[in-house]
Structure 1
Amino acid sequence: MDPQEGPVRETLATNVKRARGRKGVSLSELARLSGISKATLSQVEAGSGNPTIETVFSLSRALELPISDLLERGQPEGLTVVRGAEAEVLSGAGVDLRPLQTVEAGGMIFEIYDQRVRADSRQDSLGHAGREHTVVQEGRLGVTVDGHEVELGAGDYVAFDAALPHAYTALDGPVRSVLFLHYEAARRSRPAVPHR
């Protein structure tokens, strides 16, 4: 599936419009807060833009919302299976993210992603809401957080405040990892749907 087609683009459009309306933020103000041009934001809200990881993270930071509030279509109930080959991809400069699940428990929201850092690539982030956790499955991953650098191999784990500037770099070939983000549930833009 093309990462820019279909439900991700449509869901992002709906959720950005909703969040902006709830916060009473104009399109011009959101452009200023996010560093994204007003024209690009108009395209995103119309569902005709090509959202990247950078766009979603910037909107998350500007709207002070968990990323799942921008990408989630609804709360699943019962058994949930996400096939890797069928998961929609959100691509950035060096990373492909596949949103797998959002879990709410104990006043916290946990987002789970399949994260792939492309060979010889680097993905930079100015920061966004939440705390970030990464477990490397395959490859060697360079992680830079607020100027501090670490190198991770298969089975290694790192966690940090996602509001800090950070970057992931594939050091010698592609890297597969699992990315977890967590937030306080109070940061959600809408109430959770109770399980039946």
Structure 2
Amino acid sequence: MKPANSSVRDVLAANLRRERTRRGLSLSELSRLSKIGKATLSQLESATGNPTIETVFSLSRALEMPISDLLDTRHADTVTVVRAAEADVLSGEGVDLRPLQRIETGGVIMELYDQQVREKARQPSLGHAGTEHTVVQSGTLAVEVDGHRVELGPGDYVSFDASLPHCYTAPEGPVRSVLLLHYPSGLRDAQDPRNAPH
């Protein structure tokens, strides 16, 4: 069979990645369901493989979706824009949070926040449900988790069990960061993004 042209490869790669992620499937799980090798799937998702009709049909069956959905450049996703000036600010002792998005997929709930820690301010927490992920964009952020302290600079990332006591501090000046809260499957207490942890 003649190799697929690059536009088909690119469209399939984007749609396959999106659908697999949306369904919470690993490459190994999709490989088992579709009977397509994991290496082949990896090549398809990176647009370096040459999909055949058989491959596309196998993916259609495994994902229980029309073939056209795998090969179509149009999909139902929409663009979500949250303007800084329009987002409500949730303020704590030392942190201002702007809720950006609540994402629910495969029973897992994630909340995305723009987080600003005020200069020399402390934001303690006794702990709450989920896992906390923070990426520093600017400034120096001190994070203390259950008695262990680390300092993070721009581009640095920290993750921890949020049920442990923790505290954010900006010792040298204001800090801008992105906070992602990841809740375990089945946890419904986080329905409202205004239930901020800090």
User: TM-score, normalization: structure 2?
Assistant: 0.55
User: Counterparts in 2 of 1:75-86, with a 5 A limit?
Assistant: 78-86=78-86
For 1:100 and 1:185, locate their aligned partners in 2 and report how far apart those are by CA, in whole Å.
21
Is structure 2 residue 89 aligned with structure 1 residue 119? Answer: no
User: Counterparts in 2 of 1:42-57, with a 5 A limit?
Assistant: none
Paired residue type of 2:183: Y
TM superposition outliers: structure 1 runs of 4+ over 6 Å:
none
Is structure 2 residue 163 aligned with structure 1 residue 163? Answer: yes
In structure 2, the residue matched to 1:187 is 187
For 2:124 and 2:133, locate their aligned partners in 1 and report how far apart those are by CA, in whole Å.
16
For 2:189 and 2:165, locate their aligned partners in 1 and report how far apart those are by CA, in whole Å.
24
Paired residue type of 1:155: G
Q: Is the 8 A contact 1:135 1:156 kept in 2?
A: yes
For 1:138 and 1:169, locate their aligned partners in 2 and report how far apart those are by CA, in whole Å.
13
Q: Give the 3-state SS of the residue equivalent to 1:85 in structure 2.
A: helix
Paired residue type of 1:149: R
Offset of 1:153 from its aligned partner? 0.2
For 2:161 and 2:190, locate their aligned partners in 1 and report how far apart those are by CA, in whole Å.
23
User: Identity of counterpart residues, as a percentage?
Assistant: 68
In structure 1, the residue matched to 2:141 is 141
For 2:102 and 2:128, locate their aligned partners in 1 and report how far apart those are by CA, in whole Å.
17
Q: Give the 3-state SS of the residue equivalent to 2:85 in structure 1.
A: coil
Paired residue type of 2:131: R
Task: Give aligned pairs, total.
Answer: 115
Q: Give the 3-state SS of the residue equivalent to 2:179 in structure 1.
A: strand
Q: Give the 3-state SS of the residue equivalent to 2:172 in structure 1.
A: coil
Paired residue type of 1:123: Q
Paired residue type of 1:140: T
Cα distance per residue 1:71-123 (max 9 Å; x no partner): xxxxxx83321011211000000000000001112321110000000011010
Offset of 1:132 from its aligned partner? 0.1
Q: Give the 3-state SS of the residue equivalent to 2:182 in structure 1.
A: strand
Paired residue type of 1:119: E
Larger Rg, first or second structure (1 or 2)? 2
User: TM-score, normalization: structure 1?
Assistant: 0.56
Offset of 1:166 from its aligned partner? 0.2
Q: Give the 3-state SS of the residue equivalent to 1:173 in structure 2.
A: coil
Q: Is the 8 A contact 1:104 1:185 kept in 2?
A: no
In structure 1, the residue matched to 2:87 is 87
Q: Give the 3-state SS of the residue equivalent to 2:86 in structure 1.
A: coil
Q: CA 1:190–1:128 in 2, change beyond 3 Å: closer, same or farther?
A: closer
Paired residue type of 2:124: D
Q: What are the ranges of 5 or more consecutive residues in structure 2 without an aligned counterpart?
A: 1-76, 192-198
Paired residue type of 1:141: L
For 1:101 and 1:124, locate their aligned partners in 2 and report how far apart those are by CA, in whole Å.
23
Q: Give the 3-state SS of the residue equivalent to 1:186 in structure 2.
A: coil
Offset of 1:190 from its aligned partner? 9.5
For 1:86 and 1:187, locate their aligned partners in 2 and report how far apart those are by CA, in whole Å.
28
For 1:138 and 1:119, locate their aligned partners in 2 and report how far apart those are by CA, in whole Å.
12
In structure 1, the residue matched to 2:19 is none
Cα distance per residue 1:4-51 (max 9 Å; x no partner): xxxxxxxxxxxxxxxxxxxxxxxxxxxxxxxxxxxxxxxxxxxxxxxx
Superposition RMSD in Å:
1.7
